[in-house]
Structure 1
């Protein structure tokens, strides 16, 4: 859903993970696509990375010049990178205590560096903003 919204805004997106196998899994899920349409994307390391509207990567740099970076599974993002992007999304499983702790550490590090941040939760069944800094 978030990738689709970023694409609707006209942004190129990089989805950054930490594990190549996990990115392969996500690639497979995206190929299945949402019921209402296909989400064009590619895995980093291909011949056409720079042309991909959505690039799945485990590296810190994305060849598709993204306006939006979405990190998963605790992948790192720096305050400098956040400042240069239109949007940065740190996605995590709120039911996984280790993932929550990693996200808290990222939140603190980024906000301590002056990045504006919002925390959204789907805990109630719909998205609600829980905090802003």
Structure 2
């Protein structure tokens, strides 16, 4: 069963936390697929991952590119797994998929200032717990560090 992690953004946006989460997955030798809600958002995340730090590099492509299957990180707007990733990140309003059998870990990153995102995350939490998945809930403190709350 997939481990499901809920990351509640409060003091830092997705663009600031996503590179760290991706770095950690790559360090564990895992492939990642990141699903966002629109092509515009995918393009913005794609651009950000190329420029977020001068001293770092995250090898990634979008699912629209021909070599997506060979890349460790793929950005997408669909509920597919183009690179046979072990980790799925759902961000920007994307819900946790029903089909979790292909993943070791699923990460839901949601905006704590968005009431709809909070409601959706609560529903996904209940669904994950009811289906027997190991789930943990992490919230940012004022400095942007993650604190495990549940």
Work out whether the TM-score is over 0.5: yes
- Which stretches of structure 1, 4 residues or more, deviate above 3 A after TM superposition? none
CA RMSD after TM alignment: 1.4
Q: Are residue 117 (structure 1) and residue 135 (structure 2) matched? A: yes
Give the structure 2 partner of residue 2 of structure 1.
21
Which of 11, 16, 23 is the equivalent residue of 2:42? 23
Give the structure 1 partner of residue 70 of structure 2.
51
How far the C-alpha of 1:79 sits from its partner, in A, is: 4.7
How far the C-alpha of 1:74 sits from its partner, in A, is: 2.5
CA distance, structure 2, for counterparts of residue 114 and residue 80 of structure 1: 14
Q: Is the 8 A contact 2:79 2:97 kept in 1?
A: no
Q: What secondary structure, in the 3-state scheme, does the structure 1 residue paired with 2:148 have?
A: strand
Q: Are residue 38 (structure 1) and residue 68 (structure 2) matched? A: no
Q: Are residue 11 (structure 1) and residue 30 (structure 2) matched? A: yes
Relative contact order, higher structure (CA 8 A, sep 6+): 2
Give the structure 2 partner of residue 97 of structure 1.
115
For structure 1, which runs of at least 5 residues remain unmatched after alignment? none
Number of matched pairs? 130
Give TM-score scaled by structure 2 length.
0.80
